[in-house]
């Protein structure tokens, strides 16, 4: 083949490739890409949701958003959910994975399935189960507290502003820990046993082995797990909605719920689209920073 | 390693206790679906001695029109998964095999799109669906799921296809195979493992979805299972055992799928995660 023919061949491949991508791209264009850009566009306009007319109002929606009562609490709740969630899920999953990654254990795969099971259940089901856990009086937590004689600390778990987010996060950790645990286990099983054996011969203790062998070699799994949990926590809607609907008032409302409330309860499209834009930029920026910093740590 | 072996029994005991506490919420939900509400509050943790009953399962089944919701959730899931699998594996083929700046840029955009939450498109999307006459339809919901799950599906497929040796495709080209035939006859059989993983992952996600169906399928005759379960909450707040029974019914189909395809699910997610 001469080079002109080769270039023609490659060009044809690119064109065919574009045809391959066309169907899925069309679906994404109509139901994903265009709506997202419409959100950007609408966030600078005054629109009532029904008429085709809307008026350009600059950054007014964004200023109104800053002045809204619930927004500070909402942002704080989201930060609390994803920072505490990330730390707890990763910390506990890593510890559990190390405990499960032993040759002597009889039922490692059974444990794996058990911890993974909640992840498969739907957010609505898990939320309804945890509603029953937190019920006053006959709920599981209160029943156990009664058994051990600690009824005095019992309260309306999902009804108190200072308590509700903690309760939500505990349930969320329970729900989401399985996948993180499984990824850590897969990472641990990739570490050659010889490394530990030679470290033991050199007289390294358990903790030293963990810090000098396990943690560095687990870096890719840590990167992925942190990213996974952060992104999932920032995207979550169904679970907090079905557990508390953001209540009491707005004390467990996260940003995704707030966007929904702006759209369907109270019909504040301007605030909803402005919040969507800010949130999108925040998530993209945060993922980029996480990929960069965690990725760099991996190379060392 | 010998030293660790000697300590394994107490460790195993600790693990069993911790796992027992972890599983308690599930145990509680399952056990109480077969008891009367009075027994739920009186003996929440005991196994039924003579109180076992299927009455509440059948209550939920009949009163909440289980079969009808099963049909709607099932249709949406099957349609969405079929679209995701076929269109995303097709789209991933050039991303993995054809060298061009267009495809490199496309891939970067796809990976970026994975992190975006659905809620940011909520407000315009409701209008878009109405204009396309797709709100209140199975197709509408399935297409929304397809569009929003496509980035992750394309990411998984592209990653997997890149591990297939390029020589295979080159040999196919020399034999005069076009791209479509190479994709269909050579790649489709080879990517079966990732297809199995995608089936179970996206079936679970679409089946478990609440929000998309909640905002787009408000027609009371057409409730998906999750929406139906959530709207049962008000009615059965004083009969939570019926809700527990409902949860078992709602989870049953996906749990069966999970138990059969458990290995693919975990492998697919971890492989995708580690490669990414």
Enclosing domain of residue A112: 69-299
Cβ distance B94 to A287 less than 8 Å, yes or no, reads no
Q: What's the rounded Cα separation, in Å, for the pair B192 and B198?
A: 10
Q: Which two tokens stand for residue A124?
A: 């609505």
Q: What's the rounded Cα separation, in Å, for the pair A157 and A138?
A: 12
In a domain, A122, yes or no: yes
In a domain, A234, yes or no: yes
Instruction: Please state, rounded to an integer, the average pLDDT across all residues of chain A.
Output: 89
Do residues A54 and A139 touch, judged by C-beta distance below 8 A?
Answer: no
Same domain, A169 and A106: yes
Question: How many domains, chain A?
Answer: 2
Same domain, A169 and A272: yes
Same domain, A26 and A104: no
Same domain, A10 and A141: no
* Chain A partners within 8 Å of B233 (Cβ): 128
For residue A184, what is the domain's CATH number? 1.10.3720.10
In a domain, A60, yes or no: no
Same domain, A154 and A291: yes
In a domain, A264, yes or no: yes
* Helices marked H in A68-160: 71-100, 108-120, 123-134, 140-147
Asked if the C-beta of A16 comes within 8 angstroms of chain B's C-beta atoms, the answer is yes
Asked if the C-beta of A23 comes within 8 angstroms of chain B's C-beta atoms, the answer is yes
Q: What's the rounded Cα separation, in Å, for the pair A297 and A103?
A: 30
Same domain, A139 and A238: yes
- Complete domains list, chain B, with CATH: 2-57 (no CATH), 64-275 (1.10.3720.10)
Same domain, A126 and A256: yes
Whole-structure pTM value:
0.91
Give the mutation candidate from B96, B105, B119, B208 for the A interface (greatest A CB count, under 10 A).
Answer: B119
Same domain, A77 and A37: no
Q: What's the rounded Cα separation, in Å, for the pair A187 and A208?
A: 19
Same domain, A75 and A142: yes
Q: What is the pLDDT of residue A16?
A: 92
Q: What's the rounded Cα separation, in Å, for the pair B165 and A4?
A: 27
Q: Which two tokens stand for residue B170?
A: 């080159």
In a domain, A59, yes or no: no
pLDDT tens-digit map of A147-184: 888 888 888 899 888 899 999 999 999 999 998 998 89
Q: What is the pLDDT of residue B275?
A: 46
Full 3-state SS string of chain B: CHHHHHCHHHHHHHHHHHHHHHHHHHHHHHHHCCCCHHHHHHCCCCCCCCCCCCHHHHHHHHHCCHHHHHHHHHHHHHHHHHHHHHHHHHHHHHHHHCCCHHHHHHHHHHHHHCCCCHHHHHHHHHHHHHHCCCCCCHHHHHHHHHHHHHHHHHHHHHHHHCCCCHHHHHHHHHCCCCHHHHHHHHHHHHCHHHHHHHHHHHHHHHHHCCHHHHHHCCCCCCCCHHHHHHHHCCCCCCCHHHHHHHHHHHHHHHHHHHHHHHHHHHHHHHHHHHHC
Q: What is the pLDDT of residue A210?
A: 87
Average pLDDT over residues A2-12: 76
- A272's CB contacts (< 8 A; 6+ apart) are A259, A262, A263, B122, B123
Same domain, A221 and A117: yes
How many separate helices (H) and strands (E) can be counted in chain A?
A: 15, 2
Q: What's the rounded Cα separation, in Å, for the pair B92 and B147?
A: 15
Average pLDDT over residues A110-130: 91
Q: Where residue A105 falls among pLDDT bands split at 50, 70, 90?
A: low
Give the mutation candidate from B121, B129, B152 for the A interface (greatest A CB count, under 10 A).
Answer: B121
Q: What is the pLDDT of residue B173?
A: 84
Closest to B5 (Cβ–Cβ): which among A104, A279, A287?
A104
Same domain, A79 and A177: yes
Average pLDDT over residues A290-300: 74
Q: What is the pLDDT of residue A84?
A: 96
Cβ distance A277 to B19 less than 8 Å, yes or no, reads no
- Strand, coil or helix: A54: coil
Chain-centroid distance of CA A198 in Å reads: 38
pLDDT tens-digit map of B210-223: 999 888 756 667 78
Residue located via tokens 């399985």 = A178
The number of C-beta contacts closer than 8 angstroms across A and B is: 262
Q: What is the pLDDT of residue B56?
A: 87
Q: What is the pLDDT of residue A54?
A: 81
In a domain, A48, yes or no: no
Asked if the C-beta of A134 comes within 8 angstroms of chain B's C-beta atoms, the answer is no
Do residues A79 and A145 touch, judged by C-beta distance below 8 A?
Answer: no
Residue predicted with more confidence, A265 or A277: A277
In a domain, A50, yes or no: no
Q: Which two tokens stand for residue B79?
A: 């349609």
- B167's CB contacts (< 8 A; 6+ apart) are none
Q: What is the pLDDT of residue A10?
A: 82
Give the mutation candidate from A121, A264, A298 for the B interface (greatest B CB count, under 10 A).
Answer: A121
pLDDT tens-digit map of A14-38: 999 999 999 999 999 999 999 999 9
Same domain, A92 and A31: no
In a domain, A62, yes or no: no
Give the residues of chain B that fall short of pLDDT 70.
Answer: 1-8, 49-50, 217-220, 268-276
């Amino acid at each position: 083949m001469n080079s002109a023919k080769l270039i023609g061949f490659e060009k044809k491949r690119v064109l065919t490739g574009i045809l391959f991508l066309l169907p899925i791209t069309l679906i994404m264009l109509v139901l994903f890409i265009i709506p997202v850009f419409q959100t950007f566009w609408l966030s600078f306009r005054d629109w009532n949701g029904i008429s085709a007319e809307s008026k350009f109002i600059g950054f007014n929606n964004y200023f109104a958003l800053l002045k809204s009562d619930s927004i500070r609490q909402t942002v704080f709740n989201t930060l609390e959910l994803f920072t505490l969630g990330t730390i707890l899920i990763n910390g506990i999953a890593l510890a559990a994975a190390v405990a499960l990654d032993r040759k002597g254990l009889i039922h490692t795969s059974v444990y794996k399935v058990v911890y993974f099971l909640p992840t498969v259940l739907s957010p609505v089901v898990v939320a309804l189960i945890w509603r029953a856990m937190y019920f006053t009086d006959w709920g599981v937590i209160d029943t156990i507290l009664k058994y051990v004689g600690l009824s005095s600390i019992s309260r309306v778990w999902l009804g108190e502003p200072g308590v509700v987010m903690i309760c939500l996060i505990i349930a969320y950790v329970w729900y989401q820990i399985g996948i993180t645990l499984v990824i850590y286990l897969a990472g641990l099983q990739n570490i050659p046993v010889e490394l530990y054996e030679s470290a033991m011969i050199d007289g390294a203790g358990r903790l030293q082995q963990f810090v000098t062998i396990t943690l560095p070699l687990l870096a890719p799994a840590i990167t992925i797990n942190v990213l996974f949990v952060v992104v999932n926590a920032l995207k979550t809607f169904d679970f907090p909605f079905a557990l508390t609907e953001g209540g009491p008032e707005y004390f467990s409302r996260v940003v995704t719920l707030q966007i929904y409330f702006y759209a369907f309860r109270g019909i504040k499209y301007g605030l909803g689209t402005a919040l969507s834009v800010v949130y999108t930029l925040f998530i993209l920026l945060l993922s980029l920073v996480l990929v960069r910093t965690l990725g760099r740590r991996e190379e060392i | 390693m010998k030293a660790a072996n000697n300590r394994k029994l107490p460790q195993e005991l600790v693990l069993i206790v911790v796992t027992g506490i972890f599983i308690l919420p599930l145990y509680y939900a399952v056990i109480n679906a077969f008891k009367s509400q009075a027994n739920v509050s009186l003996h929440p943790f005991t196994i039924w001695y003579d109180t076992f009953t299927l009455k509440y399962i059948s209550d939920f089944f009949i009163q909440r029109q289980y079969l009808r919701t099963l049909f709607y959730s099932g249709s949406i899931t099957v349609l969405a998964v079929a679209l995701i699998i076929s269109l995303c594996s097709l789209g991933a083929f050039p991303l993995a095999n054809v060298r061009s700046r267009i495809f490199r840029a496309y891939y970067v955009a796809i990976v970026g799109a994975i992190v975006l939450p659905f809620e940011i498109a909520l407000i315009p999307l409701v209008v878009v669906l109405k204009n396309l006459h797709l709100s209140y339809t199975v197709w509408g919901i399935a297409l929304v799921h397809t569009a929003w799950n496509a980035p992750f599906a394309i990411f998984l497929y592209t990653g997997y296809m890149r591990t297939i040796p390029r020589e295979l495709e080159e040999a196919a080209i020399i034999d005069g195979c076009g791209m479509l035939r190479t994709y269909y006859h050579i790649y489709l059989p080879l990517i079966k493992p990732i297809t199995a993983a995608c089936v179970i992952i996206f079936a679970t996600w679409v089946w478990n979805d609440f929000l998309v169906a909640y905002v787009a399928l408000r027609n009371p005759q057409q409730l998906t299972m999750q929406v139906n379960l959530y709207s049962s909450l008000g009615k059965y707040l004083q009969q939570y055992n019926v809700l527990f029974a409902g949860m078992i019914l709602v989870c049953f189909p996906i749990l069966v799928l999970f138990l059969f395809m458990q290995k693919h699910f975990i492998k697919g997610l971890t492989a995708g995660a580690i490669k990414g």
